[in-house]
Chains A and B, each alone.
Chain A
């Protein structure tokens, strides 16, 4: 057998799972869907970046952030600001009072480009901002909170409040941000028409590639010692601390990583959809990202991707036809996932699918997780595709929060 590098097999979703995902995203969907649907799928996949990040920091780290919209928004707005500046060249904005600035600024009687918009004239700066700003924001938030041992419920509430703050700021300062409508009419990237058919295909593939890259990155992080310490501190924070680890740093890192992924998702969203607005920043989208991860399985990176695809698809289907029914349905999904399926669809696969696959192959894949003996001993013990027995069940004592 060919020896694969360590992170390609092992516990956190076998290589096979990722190859299947890649095949679905790269071959099946582009082949089966028309461009409109494919673009829609691409939009869902940008949410999957956030969901994968949440699997890492919520599922494995026990850190529930209800403010992931912040990072999605920061990435998305950074990209939107660049595209908007390109769309606002003096030629095409000559009817404005002040040509050369974005239209919404002109409407709000702003006569000069605000200082924080200026660097977004550069694509290089923008790309760096997309990659660095969300993680930097997360670093500031995470460092301040985790060093003071704020976690669990308190962390969730504070991140939610921050999402509210950012939304109010964006909506309230419409001269600088485009307000409630967001930044719209984005067409070209360095002269390249991003609404063009071939561009849409290209962006879809770029998006899917980046997403699979994020899943692989997540696997690599989880498979090493860092991943084990992360899970360990979710369940026994004190033991980890008194084994000589600075627990706060471990939490800050995974929170930043999740923010980094969310930021990429946000930027890809702007590119594929052509606008960015505060409705992807606030409480509601932030908590929807959590439900994507919860439905897919909070301990499964691949589950996060499928969760984002499935729930978003269902939302589009039902919300168009029966908007009222949809709200009840998504509410019910929240409740049912928590009550019946706390480890999401991935746990269903782990319980039934894996056995079926093993039967088909006749023998176990060497990279598979050995079924923990506890499975038969502990009634109702739930586990999922990626985690070992006990680590799948966080002790909630750590999620309470206060020092």
Chain B
């Protein structure tokens, strides 16, 4: 298994069981640097659980998750973030009472300890970086607005922005376009493609058009195992994938 170190993320023999029910079973999953990967699959296939396992929200029953050669399965959640893994939740998870600016600042990767946070100063560097990220997520004109008043799509972008400001090497996005309008989806696809330059991204998605527009390799999960892996075009011809997920 010496080749593991070549991958950014390598997951092997991963199993997690909830009271006997195996949500993920014997999973192997590898990702290269700068790769865009889409994970699809029917409900209950274990897609969200997979992301939970990588970021430490759920603990593996067996198996290993190596990120840049480091074992994540026993690392605490915030350490995993420090290693460079960013996680976006399915429902927009932002601080509704704070402004967009404060939301981004709260994720700024300095002053992460208690005393660091107490001593934190909003200097020019912080402000510059926040403006830069805000431009990327197209919220630079809404910095002083309260985050709770943003539209659904803007909230999703803000959460992505809160991850971007930490400049993670691996981004885990759980259904980033759920509940978005068509035009928002197109914009989000562009945003994700721009983000993917220089980092690896895992996206869980149900919308096949959106998956296609992202390009990249697709992994199909089914009942906690990998059913198939490959390009979207190839998968659309795969009988097993059609049977369990895509439909005829």
Contact = CB atoms under 8 A, between A and B. Distances in A.
A374 B146 contact: yes
A243 B117 contact: no
B66 to A, nearest CB: 19
B148 A389 contact: yes
B187 to A, nearest CB: 23
A118 B102 CA distance: 51
B152 to A, nearest CB: 16
Interface string A235-249: 110111111111101
A232 B78 contact: no
A236 B117 contact: no
A264 interface: no
Contacts of B77: 241-242
B107 interface: yes
Contacts of B57: 238, 242
A373 B149 contact: yes
Contact of B112 (A245, A373, A388, A391): A245
A374 to B, nearest CB: 6
Contacts of A231: 95, 97-98
Contact of A221 (B82, B87, B106, B118): B118
B71 to A, nearest CB: 18
Nearest to A378: B148
A401 B160 CA distance: 28
Given A225-B106, A243-B162, A390-B148, A238 B89 contact: yes
B97 A389 contact: yes
Nearest to B122: A225
Contact of B81 (A221, A243, A373, A391): A243
A232 B105 contact: no
Given A224-B120, A244-B112, A389-B148, A232 B95 contact: yes
10 contacts: A224-B118, A224-B119, A225-B106, A235-B95, A242-B57, A242-B86, A250-B117, A252-B114, A388-B97, A392-B97
Contact of B93 (A225, A236, A244, A377): A236
Given A249-B114, A372-B146, 15 more contacts: A225-B120, A228-B105, A236-B94, A239-B94, A241-B78, A242-B57, A243-B166, A244-B112, A245-B112, A246-B76, A246-B78, A246-B113, A252-B114, A391-B95, A392-B97
A253 interface: yes
B98 A244 contact: no
Contact of A229 (B96, B117, B162): B117
B179 interface: no
Contacts of B230: none
Interface residues of A, number: 35
Interface in A62-103: none
A391 B98 contact: yes
A389 B93 contact: no
Interface in B111-158: 111-114, 117-120, 146-149
B133 to A, nearest CB: 13
A225 B98 contact: no
Interface of A: 221, 224-226, 228-229, 231-232, 235-236, 238-247, 249-250, 252-253, 372-374, 377, 387-393
Contacts of B76: 246
Nearest to B99: A388
Contact of B96 (A225, A226, A235, A243): A235
Given A241-B77, A244-B166, A391 B89 contact: no
A372 B144 CA distance: 11
B149 A374 contact: yes
Nearest to A388: B97
A388 B94 contact: no
B148 A242 contact: no
In the A-B complex, the 9 residue pairs with the smallest Cβ-Cβ separation, listed nearest first, are A390-B97, A391-B97, A244-B81, A225-B120, A226-B117, A390-B96, A239-B93, A232-B95, A253-B114
Contacts of A393: 97
A242 B120 contact: no
Nearest to B146: A372
B109 interface: yes
Contacts of B94: 236, 239
Contact of B107 (A243, A247, A249, A253): A243
B192 interface: no
Interface string B157-175: 0010010001000000000
B80 to A, nearest CB: 8
B106 A228 contact: yes
A373 B77 CA distance: 35
Nearest to B82: A244
Nearest to B103: A232
Nearest to A391: B97
A374 B148 contact: yes
A387 to B, nearest CB: 7
A167 B98 CA distance: 41
Contacts of B81: 242-244
